[in-house]
Each structure stands twice: as structure tokens, then as C-alpha cells.
Amino acid sequence: MNVNMFQAGDNVAATDHSDIDKLPIEELPLPPDFAWGTATAAYQVEGAVTQDGRGPSIWDTFTHLEPSRTNNENGDIACDHYNRVAEDVDLMASLGMDVYRLSIAWSRIIPLGGRNDPVNEAGIAFYNRLIDSLLAKSIEPVVTLYHWDAPQVIYDRYGAFLITAEFKADFERYARVCFSRFGDRVKKWITFNEPYIISVFGHHTGVLAPGRNSSNGGDSRTEPWRVGHTLIVSHASAVEIYASEFQPAQNGTISIVLNSHFYEPWDPENPVHVDAAQRRQEFYVSWFGDPIFLARDYPSCMREFLGDRLPTFTDDEVALLRRTAHLNTFYGMNHYSTKFARALPDPPSPDDCTGNIEEGPTNCRGEEAGPVSGMAWLRVAPYGFRKLLNWVWKRYQLPIIITENGCPCPGESEMRKEEALDDGFRVRYFGLYLDSISRAIYEDGVKVTGYYAWSLMDNFEWSAGYGPRYGIVHVDRTTLERTPKKSAWYLKRSFDERRVKGKSRA
């Protein structure tokens, strides 16, 4: 364990978790050039899964398995964003957004997915329409190349991420197509969204596509680490391609999005649990962050706990990481909540992926991390958000963009529309988390440059189907009518006010 790394409580005032629901929203300042917007993912909103030549993805397959693993729901129609682009861009403009973070569906661009497979011009035309519509409304498109929806054909051919050389070659071709066809207008690229989730939830627990684990032909002991390795190397290769072949003319930026909870020690007085919180953070963030941003090997705690389960970087891969580490120009952070990390007393299971740590919502004194949202795991914990911003900034020294943050309200999925539109819980969550960003910037010296709320609208939430509603815009599941919630208007007003305060402070 690197004892010099930022610990859980350093430089950040302690907060009584039980009092979070009593904290006032202070509308603290943000820099005048701070960018705000919303985020979505292609499979969650587009629908039109067979329209205009789109090929199947692993999520199309996963959502149609029997018995269902997605609450008997799928993204076949989703929010029908594919056919409602003009309406949705007008909606974003009416809410005053600076940015829209979207993802491209790989199988809409290259239906069969491979390096030698044909490009679908209808798919290119769709994203051109979307990008051009955004720019016409002065909304910046921030584009994610991969948000979990690998073409099914490359999965059938070689298991996608399981064969590094094959996936890397196919992803390089896909990235080149996107850079060449959209890069004259897209100035901020993200390679992969949440590689931790792709690796662990897709290939260890199997609760997300492609749904592999040791019970159904996979190997939960080794596959998550092989998948993670593939994603790191493929990211670095795409960054090098962009920097050498496209960036000189297009003048954009590129990086990756990592997700994480913040981990507090289950018992802050016990060094064993303090160490466990740091280790869990490294297993979650530094697994990817250290090789990508620092050109280092995997964290030493991972080597210690995983042994030969963890792949080794080849000499060529090490050289690639060293050439590209400094080319990542921002850190994309997806963050929702804080948990407590408890070191387990017994030896880890053979397929343990946590560093032998139990995580949960309460500490040794029975105190909760914060008030519960519409998801049991997602607690309102702005103090943890501030600590994570500090932890990431100290370790990687890159400007941070909050690429996802948000919550569903308690009971929202059962509410009538009129009730759901009055989403005061979500307003409170946003307000407290934005105050934490302000404190991190002005009191701690962390560089945070933007905030993209999850999500623009209620959509298909992966294995949970259409149950959780994270949107700041309500979507009627029958008519697909869009109606902004109170939180949408709150964000518009709040960012206007906070940036005015920031301007007077500059």
C-alpha cells in the first residue's frame, strides 16, 4: 500500500452523516466557464435497433434472453431518440445546456463490427444530423465511442474483449471511422465508459451484457482482469491514433471515463479498515487510472491479492502506455454515492475481485452513509464526492469533468406523472453535490471544469429495465412524451447563478 497516497479524511472537514438531510443548499460559486449539460448512452435512449441497417449488439441479445435478466424489458424502442432527435435537441436548448454527452452505437456505424466489415452510411448520417443539430443550438457534443454495446458479431467471433489483439484491431478501425467522419466538429472524445463495469459486471457477476461468469461458461477468476487489460491497451491505442493522425488538424481532446464510489473506512479508528478503504479505491479506480494516466503497472495491492490472475503488460504495451499517458487531457468521472469498506477476516474466495473487502451503506456504529434514494445502494453523500475529487486530483493531476452524476427519487418509479415532475429530492441531491464541487475547487484547489447530469431523460436502465427514473426530463412510457421536471429548471437556474458568483470571484 502506498502510504503517501491521499487518505480518506485528509484536508476535508468531517461531516456527521446523519445530518446530511438537514444541510442547506448554499448555491456556492462555480467558475464562469464551467460547462454543464446532461449525458445519455445510445442503447438506453435511441431505440430503432434494426432501423437503417443497424446491427445487433450484445445488449440486444442480453435483453432478449429467456428467462429475462432485465425485468422483461429491452431497448428496442427505449426513448425513440433515433427518430426524435430534433425534438430532443430543442428540449436541451430550452434548458440552457452547454454540453450533451452522447455515445455512438458501434453496430450502427459498422453493423458487423470488424476491421474489414462495411461501414453503414445511414448510421453515419444519423450521428451527423445529431451533431449538426447540437452545434446549431450552440450545444457542444461530447462523444463516447463505447458505452457497453459491443457488436454481437465480434462477440460471436472471438469473445470481444477476451482476445486483446483482435478487439484492439477492431476498435482501432471503428475509432478511425468516427474520428474521420465526425472529428471536424467533435472536440471532446471519450474512448470507453466505465471499464470497471464492463469487466466486473459483464464478466464476473454476469448481471450486465454479455452476462458471463463461472456458472455459464465464463471464468470469473480470470476474465475480468483480461477484459480490463484489453480495454486499457485499446484505449491507449485509440488515443495514439487520435493524437498522431487527427488531432493536429481537428484540435480536439481525448480521454476515458472511470466510475467509482468513494470508500470510507467501516471503522475509521482501525488501521485495517482504513487500509481497506484505500485498497478498495485502488481496485476500483487505479486498476485503470495508474496504467492509463501514469504509465504504471497495476497497483501493488492488486498484484499482491490477485497474483497470476492479473495480466502482465508486454514490452510493447508498456511502451504504448508511456507514449500516450500524457495525451489524456482530462479525467472523466462518473460518481453517484459513497460506501463503507470493511476488511474481511477470512481468506478471499478464489474469484474475489474486491481485495477481500465488504462494502455497504453503514459503518461499525450503524451510521448510514446518507439518506437513501430510489436505489438502495445510492445514498446522498456529498462529503464523499468532495473527498473523491481530492483523491483523484492528487493522484492524477488532471482536470476533472463530472461525466455522470444523479439519482432517482425514492418511490419515483411508482409515482404518477404530476408527482414525478415535482422531484425535490433530486433537486436537493444536485444542489448539495454542486456545492461540494465548489468547495473542492475554491477551498481544496481541485480543477473541475464541467458537470453532466445523469440523465437527460428517463430511459432504459440496463438490468433494472425502465424501473429507476434518473432523468431530469420525464418520459411517458406509453406516449414517450417528454416533460421537464423541477430538477431540469433548477439546474438551469442554479448554473446561471453559480457562474455569476464565480465571475465576481475570479
Q: How far is residue 151's CA from residue 138's CA, in Å, rounded to a whole number?
A: 32
Cα-based angle 429, 38, 63 (whole degrees, multiple of 5):
95
Which of 63, 100, 107 has the alpha carbon at shortest distance from 85? 100
User: Containing H/E element for 301?
Assistant: helix 300-306
Q: How far is residue 328's CA from residue 295's CA, in Å, rounded to a whole number?
A: 11
404 in catalytic set: yes
Q: How far is residue 451's CA from residue 99's CA, in Å, rounded to a whole number?
A: 9
Q: In this structure, which amino acid lies at residue 187?
A: K
C-alpha cell at 103: 455515445
C-alpha cell at 469: 427514473
Given 166, 194, 264, 461, which residue is catalytic?
194
User: Containing H/E element for 306?
Assistant: helix 300-306
Q: Answer yes or no: are the C-beta atoms of 209 and 238 closer than 8 Å.
A: no
Altogether, the residues listed in the chain come to a count of 506
Q: How far is residue 429's CA from residue 424's CA, in Å, rounded to a whole number?
A: 9
User: Containing H/E element for 452?
Assistant: strand 448-454
Q: Answer yes or no: are the C-beta atoms of 305 and 356 closer than 8 Å.
A: yes
Using CA of residue 350, residue 70, residue 337, residue 339, what is the dihedral sign? negative
Look-up of cell digits 453523500: 381
Q: In this structure, which amino acid lies at residue 344?
A: L
DSSP string, 34-57: -EEEEE--HHHH---TTGGGPPPB
Given 166, 404, 412, 461, which residue is catalytic?
404
Look-up of cell digits 433515433: 82
Q: Answer yes or no: are the C-beta atoms of 441 and 447 closer than 8 Å.
A: yes
Residues with catalytic annotation? 194, 404
